[in-house]
Structure 1
Amino acid sequence: MFTNVTRIKDFFIVGFPGLSPDYYIPVSVVLFILYLVIVGGNIFILVFVKCESSLHKPTYLIFCHLAMTDLAFGTATLPKIISKYWFDDSVISFYGCFVQMYFVHFLGATHSFILMVMALDRSIAVCAPLRYTAVFTNTTVSVLCGVSWILPLSWMVGIVVDALTLPFCNSNIILQCYCDHIAIARLGCENVREVEVVAFVGAMFFLLVPLGFIVSSYFIIIVAVIRISNSEGRMKTLSTCTPQLLITFIYYMPRCFVYMANIVGFRFSVPVRIIVVMLYSLLPAAINPIIYCFKTKDIKENLNRRFLVRKINTSSKT
């Protein structure tokens, strides 16, 4: 029986432990620039694809869904940690913390499933190119991506409600830059193990099921590419998958590294762990729009055409 259970009204976000106050403003500026890059880059992709009718294709519709998850994730996490270092505002309300936790894990799970849809898109395009336009339409993508958004909803509600039932008696200090399930659950003082196991099983499902499908899809793609008789055809086919491979690699590789490190017993120090989590959570959201623009043929060609037309118009006016 716990007698020191207290009703917590607020949590305190620590951010990067041990960071000197002298670096608070520089860190907040860097995080603010990162947020602007995430917002600007992903909104640009959404608007550009919307305005270019030639990009109204399944592949670019998937890119838009990924851009929405990246934009939403950055908006859910960065403003509070920026406020912490810019205005020395470390306080987040009790329910506000759980709302943030909900969106952190919901958007992560959604992103994984949309990456799975993207792998399906590429596998059909490479393995059944003649049937691709008939099988994989914009409507099909909209349905699959819609399911990717809806599927994690009920699971995350259950996880949040489960964590809300915990009695908190240890502390209200969040050793992280945002509220996540691990950071909150560790503050509980009863039934913590049960709550953590349920959340871990759910997290593994939403991480490993899409990852398993993605690995299988790209294995099938590689086999199909190897069977192409000429080297030029192989390179051309692989180039159509390059953006998707880069996006998937950037998203999954750091996460798998962290999970594998935990399995083999390697433990990061708290500051290092927080930095690693921030890097693999937010850098992909900033980098993905660059990959879309410079590694995707149709987007790159449309951008070049737009800039060329503008340059010609400017020159003619001059």
Structure 2
Amino acid sequence: QTAYIDHFTLLGFPGLHPQYYGPVSAVMFFVYLVIGFGNIFILVFVMCEKKIQKPTYLIFCHIALSDLTFGTVTLPKIIAKYWFGNSLISFYGCFVQMFFIHYLGSVQSFNLMVMALDRFISICLPMRYPVLISNTVVSVLCGISWLIPLPVMVTVVMQTVFLPFCKSNVIAQCYCDHISIMSQTCTERFLSVSTTAVSLAMFCLLLPLAFILFSYTSIIVMILKMTNANGRRKTFSTCTPQILITCLFYLPRCFVYLSNLKGFSFSLDFRSFLIMLYSLLPAAVNPVIYCFKTQNIKQSLFMKLHRARISIEQNGFPMNKVIRLE
């Protein structure tokens, strides 16, 4: 019998003892601050620093915006559960969250493909790079990355929201995703709806991944063909940040998907932890990679810090005295 559901309950980590609710929510709040501060810093820094407003760094901005939005969509609600005891999310609020979670994941996948294209042309076709890649071209490509998943995810949501629900309203996860919501439905169309959703999701993940693998394989082959060892090292260092960011996004997801295919079963707590880890770790770590693995950003940042130090000393506050102040 179909039940009327006006809200869902987020289960989070079902095995977590109440005495750890405070520390867990504090950790998640800290992660949210790291995601917020780090990605806002990247966005503001690139916008204000004209000399690094180049195609590669504009792609970083699109990825940072996606990471920032994803953290904002997912973390506040689960933090509220453990901090304030509020585990309820409205029926339509759950579907809105589901839409943004899958939409932003797909956007990130396409943005990583644009990033791989940028590195591929830069290293494999360096003479053509100024002609093929510009700020305008990158902005258009990243804009398309935000547009392509939109009708796909609207289709997935519209297929699911009108299904009958006859099971519990408990979401066995820290946020609303398609699999968790579908597990609460009772419909003969379950298989067709699930198959359609998975097919569309795989299109948004595997199509970019195929090009990314082709791109970085070609780059590695090109680097290995170089006779100059110093040239190989410098060339490889220019695409190290992109490779790290891509691995952070895809490798944990591939691990979870392959584990499911091989029949490995995880406890609800460990499964929720894994999903939160691969969802939020890239958003928290990416700004660090931008700053310390990207030469131009690192140099610009150090120059600004150096000028700030000189300014402080010229105003009569030597840095060694400032450091001693309590």
Instruction: Tell me, yes or no, whether TM beats 0.5.
Output: yes
1:116-167 CA deviation, whole Å, 9 max, x = no partner? Answer: 0000000000011122112100111011000000000001011001111211
1:55 is matched by which residue type in structure 2?
I
Q: Secondary structure at the match of 2:226?
A: coil
Quote the Cα distance in structure 2 between the aligned partners of 1:306 and 1:116.
32
1:45 is matched by which residue type in structure 2?
I
1:192-226 CA deviation, whole Å, 9 max, x = no partner? Answer: 22211111111111111111100000011011111
Q: Secondary structure at the match of 1:30?
A: helix
* Structure 1 unaligned blocks of 5 or more: none
Q: Secondary structure at the match of 2:148?
A: helix
In structure 1, which of residues 166, 178, 192 is the aligned counterpart of residue 175 of structure 2?
Answer: 178
- 2:158 is aligned to 161
Quote the Cα distance in structure 1 between the aligned partners of 2:315 and 2:295.
30
- 1:295 is aligned to 293
1:230 is matched by which residue type in structure 2?
N
1:244-263 CA deviation, whole Å, 9 max, x = no partner? Answer: 00000111000011111111
- 2:311 is aligned to 313
2:217 is matched by which residue type in structure 1?
F
1:234 is matched by which residue type in structure 2?
R
Q: Which aligned pairs between 1:123-272 and structure 2 lie closer than 5 A?
A: 123-190=120-187, 191-272=189-270
Deviation of 1:273 (Å)? 0.8
Report the TM-score when normalising by structure 1. 0.98
Deviation of 1:271 (Å)? 1.2
2:135 is matched by which residue type in structure 1?
N
* Structure 2 unaligned blocks of 5 or more: 317-326
In structure 2, which of residues 9, 13, 19 is the aligned counterpart of residue 12 of structure 1?
Answer: 9
- 2:324 is aligned to none
Tell whether 2:31 aligns with 1:60.
no
In structure 2, which of residues 56, 70, 73 is the aligned counterpart of residue 76 of structure 1?
Answer: 73
- 1:90 is aligned to 87
- 1:112 is aligned to 109
Quote the Cα distance in structure 2 between the aligned partners of 1:243 and 1:157.
32
Q: Secondary structure at the match of 1:81?
A: helix
Quote the Cα distance in structure 1 between the aligned partners of 2:297 and 2:284.
17
In structure 1, which of residues 282, 287, 306 is the aligned counterpart of residue 280 of structure 2?
Answer: 282
Quote the Cα distance in structure 2 between the aligned partners of 1:273 and 1:92.
21
Report the TM-score when normalising by structure 2. 0.96
Quote the Cα distance in structure 2 between the aligned partners of 1:20 and 1:32.
18
Deviation of 1:107 (Å)? 0.2
Q: Which runs of 4+ in 1 moved over 4 A?
A: none
Paired residues, number: 315
Tell whether 2:24 aligns with 1:22.
no
In structure 1, which of residues 40, 43, 64 is the aligned counterpart of residue 40 of structure 2?
Answer: 43
Q: Secondary structure at the match of 2:89?
A: strand
Structure 1, 141-150 or 259-268: larger mean CA deviation: 259-268
2:31 is matched by which residue type in structure 1?
L
Quote the Cα distance in structure 2 between the aligned partners of 1:267 and 1:235.
42
Aligned sequence identity (%): 57
Q: Secondary structure at the match of 1:12?
A: strand
1:24-57 CA deviation, whole Å, 9 max, x = no partner? Answer: 1111111101001000000000000000001110
Deviation of 1:101 (Å)? 0.2
